[in-house]
Structure 1
């Protein structure tokens, strides 16, 4: 039986990922960039976006087999290396940008963060406490058009187990059917604390 050193094993893993058509973060870093100008465009856009300026979206076009998936994976890994959270989804009739709240629920679940090997934000959220919400940007009414996400966060930190997972699902855009009862149990308040404004997805989806 052949014994390979770590360098050769890494090289085999890179080649296998390319043969499977699923480029990994390691493979996009290990192989030379055949489209440096293209990635540089996205890198500059990400720098501008990190500075707080919004930019228009971009299309990457190419025929079958010309490396679109590899380019998208390279851009994804570049963004992760620059500290961004990244989500990659396939747009379709079921996943379109016409319904913002529905689109958010599809984008939020597969979200990846730079130093995590699992999808989503729950691991990061669990490292926080309820008291950190006081100085969080989520309290900024100019940035968040509705206080519902902040309310869900407060309830999240006051629950555990299945109830906490349900509230996390709400933060990811999947409203539970029994939020009022969850809220009442988390707060120990009766009657339920009422929001000053009713949450309307058509008007307040950007709060999430």
Structure 2
């Protein structure tokens, strides 16, 4: 009988694509770093304060796997998780795009699919819950746009209009005129904004609201994970400084409720970007009178812990798990020792993901053919070549 969960993990490892399932199964590598993260998660969930950290590692050495492990740890703590890679389409200097992408990739505990607004709608039927949210947006946010939007959303009965407002909470922002129209249609009175909403400047109001809402929904916090943060280095100097400022919103005196944020960079970011592109000089040029908090962010990146290569014991433990999973996935008993498998993959390159893929390919071969034959290249002698003339003559 095939174990479908085991097969899913094996297929993910074979493809090299990071997987939450892989992260939840292989949680014991790099125990010191995972223990540090576990303490930070527990501190966030128990005290209600926000925390954050930065990690670095070489390409292919398990940064994304570590983030997926954090996903499992966070869900075990009853925390909501959002995880995205930064990219050209989602650069850190454009906060509104980051928010929208995070909303599209937000997972509630014990849920395999992203999304949370269905749970919000269910909870808003509770008058006490709705009033708590309304009190928060009226008293704690710098602008009152979300207060008008939330009140209209709670009162709205037309499905199409409600969906438009729901999309706003998820990052597809309505114009101020559309929010005012929705409020006026529901309450017959005009909405008076304290200031116009500028999505490139005011998106943090939404982060604050969502973090408080998750807390009031009974979750122990919100974990936000940013992978491939090194792509920030491809931005122009002003855009890069703006990205560091946005990082500071999460890591330096964060104003959100019970949020743990983690950024993953490559090891080379220090030399290639901070030193190579003279970020400290640019900071002094653009912010001569107020270098904080960007200076603190740059120092945090420089001092961030790096993922050291796995020890032989850790690699053997992972290989032992892969052998067991492969047997469950395809309903067989691999007669392969971890020492033999480690030897077989020793020449597969330095990238961890490449070596693990080689281990699975070896087990695939054993399962399909029952032998240890290896595909190799050799010299082809002239007499081995069959010509078309020889075929015709036959």
TM-score after normalising by structure 2: 0.45
Q: CA deviation at 1:140?
A: 5.4
* Alpha-carbon distance change, 106 to 23 in structure 1, aligned in 2, over 3 angstroms: closer
Q: Write the deviation string for residues 135-155 of structure 1: whole angstroms up to 9, x where unpaired.
A: 237625564222322322222
Q: Write the deviation string for residues 156-185 of structure 1: whole angstroms up to 9, x where unpaired.
A: 222342222211111122222433333333
Structure 2 match to 1:107: 102
Residue of structure 2 aligned with 1:156, choices 142, 153, 167: 153
CA RMSD of aligned residues (A): 2.7
Q: Does 1:179 align with 2:179?
A: yes
Count of aligned residue pairs for this structure pair: 200
> Where in structure 2 are the equivalents of 1:90-169 lying within 5 Å?
90-129=85-124, 131=127, 132-136=129-133, 139=136, 143-157=140-154, 158-169=156-167
> Where in structure 2 are the equivalents of 1:78-93 lying within 5 Å?
78-93=73-88
Higher relative contact order at CA 8 Å, sep ≥6: structure 1 or structure 2? 2
Q: CA deviation at 1:196?
A: 3.7
Looking at structure 2, the residues matched to 108 and 22 of structure 1 have their Cα atoms a distance apart, in angstroms, of 22
SS, match of residue 42 in structure 1: helix
SS, match of residue 57 in structure 1: strand
Structure 2 match to 1:43: 38
Looking at structure 1, the residues matched to 68 and 30 of structure 2 have their Cα atoms a distance apart, in angstroms, of 13
* Alpha-carbon distance change, 114 to 38 in structure 1, aligned in 2, over 3 angstroms: same
Q: Write the deviation string for residues 37-80 of structure 1: whole angstroms up to 9, x where unpaired.
A: 2211211121222223333431231233x222211211122112
* Alpha-carbon distance change, 92 to 18 in structure 1, aligned in 2, over 3 angstroms: same
Does the Cα contact within 8 Å between 1:144 and 1:206 map onto a contact in 2? no
* Alpha-carbon distance change, 48 to 25 in structure 1, aligned in 2, over 3 angstroms: same
SS, match of residue 166 in structure 1: helix
Residue of structure 1 aligned with 2:7, choices 1, 12, 27: 12
Structure with a larger share of its residues in helix: 2
Q: CA deviation at 1:23?
A: 4.8
